[in-house]
A and B are shown apart, each in its own frame.
Chain A
Amino acid sequence: MLSPVIDTEGAPFWEYAGRGELRVQACAECGEVRFPPRPCCPHCRSFACEWRRTDGRGRIWSYVRPHPPLLPDYAAQAPYHVVLVELDEAPRIRLVGNLVSGPGAPLDSVPEERVRIGARVQFVFDPGSGLPQWVLERS
């Protein structure tokens, strides 16, 4: 499996995620959130930033089901769901991730019929892969 190639701006996201916190970069001057992280605020051009905690809730904005040819580790689990999650607290931030039945579950662990645009999801962290994942919210 591929691990993220983390850059300077993105490092805090991964550090917080490792503690089970979903945080997004926000401008310390004007308060606008931005993603992917970057050195300065495109709204007010301030270089001061903070990492704002979110409740990790969102909705599926779109999703795909990749089929082979894929890299071997992914092909072994294909087809699986890659979802794009729009955060409740920051609608323009749509995080790519995997929809799974629980933290650490295989990429193909949610049946196709349960995946739909608009479905409510919750952030979880998988210590095994070191990646954020998403589970369907119980309702």
Chain B
Amino acid sequence: MAGGAEKAGGARGSGGVRGPGGAGGSSTVGIKDATAIVGIGQTGFAKRLPEDEKTLACRAVLAALDDAGIDPGEVDALASFTMEETEEVELAKAVGFGDLTFFSKIGYGGGGSCATVAHLATAIAAGQATVGVAWRSRKRGSGPRPWTNTAVQLPTPAQWTRPFGLLRPVDEIAMLARRYMHEYGATRDHLFNVALACRNRANQNPDAIMYERPLTREMYMTSRWISEPLCLFDNCLETDGALACVVVSAERARDCRRRPVYVHSAAQGLPAQHHGMVNYWNDDPLTGPAWTAARHLWKHADLTPQDVDVAQIYDAFSPLIPLSLEGYGFCGRGEGGAFTEGGALEIGGRLPINTGGGGLSEAYVHGFNLITEGVKQLRGTSTAQVPGASTCLVTAGEGVPTSALLLRS
């Protein structure tokens, strides 16, 4: 498959290969439009599923390959999260993959979601593999909450935070959210706008956990606190489920069963002097990894934020949305809260987001459902379809070393 990127670029007409001084701003071969997502698969989502994570992983992966029309024996690359419990060895022998020549796992929980596709795209564009599968299987609904395991203290930052009762991810993010609201005048109504947009889309999606459960402002404002200033509805769901997608070269994609969704640009982001979810010890804690990922993402794209038709923005907690809107350039610094006003995040608004319901209202599977929903939008098959959508931004967890994808049809 050496030269796959070149052929793919030619096929797309927008150039997967850039020479020195090329329009992509890169002096080396890039991945722009060189690969495509051609299959997606998922299990059902529920608070409790009877099958174990390995079985769920197998089901999602086989569903994605079937969607693509590709035999499992052709898979030669894998990518997942370091937190994924199903090992490559177990998955590969269970579903009957061929010889694998590329496999990687990305750290930092939900920050790694888009990076799984990014790693596969890079490997395939570079000729290291031909058919890649990314997946996440997790029983976060019926399994234990990670923060309750005090025997497994996180490395160095934990000694500076946990003993004081800053125990959970929500506490860590609430600290930044309070400061953000104080500094820029963002309000609980802005966070409600985020929760509401996700819930409204979930109400259109029969697969969503919150399909038949509308949310009102009254419910939001009177719900119980989890970590002030964040309430129950600012927190994602706790879900059992698994998802997968299949990545191949753009050339191969044309022969697959579904309309290809091209990986136009991809990025990871770990900013200088970043500290993870407890990003309290640098000049500007409110500019996180999204800013770093965004700079790379747009630098290597033919598109700008104004060209994005729909976005799937990682929403483990509602304040991550205004922060990400700023980081990815949809509005200026401190304007993320105000951006949510006037139905901006709803269908027909300036930037419809999380059109399957997101982590807040469809399922929380470390953001992998945001990737598959992005693919559905660009196939035109979403349950909350944005008319004519041809570009979709998908982001991974903000507040931790992150990643992002810019997809196009």
Measured CB to CB, the residues of A under 8 A from B are: 1-7, 9-10, 35-36, 42, 61-67, 69-71, 74, 77, 79-80, 82, 84, 92-98, 107, 117, 129, 131
User: Which residues of chain B have C-beta atoms less than 8 A from A98's C-beta?
Assistant: 164-165
Interface membership of B218, Cβ < 8 A: no
Q: Closest Cβ of chain B: how far from A87's Cβ, in Å?
A: 11
Contact indicator A1/B281 (Cβ below 8 Å): no
Contact indicator B224/A66 (Cβ below 8 Å): no
User: B150 contacts which of A65, A71, A95 (Cβ < 8 Å)?
Assistant: A71
User: Which residues of chain B have C-beta atoms less than 8 A from A70's C-beta?
Assistant: 165, 167-168
Contact indicator A65/B156 (Cβ below 8 Å): no
Q: Closest Cβ of chain B: how far from A131's Cβ, in Å?
A: 6
> What CA separation (Å) do A4 and B215 show in the bound complex?
40
> What CA separation (Å) do A82 and B281 show in the bound complex?
16
Given contacts A61-B179, A92-B282, contact A42 B164 (CB under 8 A): no
Given contacts A10-B156, A62-B178, A62-B182, contact A36 B281 (CB under 8 A): yes
> What CA separation (Å) do A7 and B160 show in the bound complex?
11
Q: Closest Cβ of chain B: how far from A77's Cβ, in Å?
A: 8
| Chain A binding surface SS class | loop
Interface membership of B174, Cβ < 8 A: yes
With CB as the reference atom, state the residue of chain B lying closest to A73: B165
- Given pairs A6-B159, A10-B159, 6 additional interface contacts (CB within 8 A): A62-B175, A65-B228, A66-B166, A66-B227, A70-B168, A131-B164
User: Which residues of chain A have C-beta atoms less than 8 A from B145's C-beta?
Assistant: 69
Q: By CB atoms of chain A within 10 A, which of B164, B175, B224, B282 has the most?
A: B164
Instruction: Name 25 interchain pairs, CB-CB below 8 A, sorted by A.
Output: A1-B163, A2-B162, A4-B163, A5-B159, A10-B159, A10-B160, A36-B281, A62-B182, A66-B165, A66-B227, A67-B226, A70-B167, A71-B167, A74-B165, A79-B225, A79-B228, A80-B165, A82-B171, A84-B280, A93-B281, A96-B164, A96-B166, A107-B165, A129-B163, A131-B163
Contact indicator A95/B160 (Cβ below 8 Å): yes
Given contacts A5-B153, A62-B178, A117-B179, contact A94 B280 (CB under 8 A): yes
Contact indicator A66/B168 (Cβ below 8 Å): yes
With CB as the reference atom, state the residue of chain B lying closest to A1: B163
Contact indicator A64/B171 (Cβ below 8 Å): yes
Contact indicator B278/A67 (Cβ below 8 Å): no
Q: Closest Cβ of chain A: how far from B178's Cβ, in Å?
A: 5
User: Which residues of chain A have C-beta atoms less than 8 A from B285's C-beta?
Assistant: 94
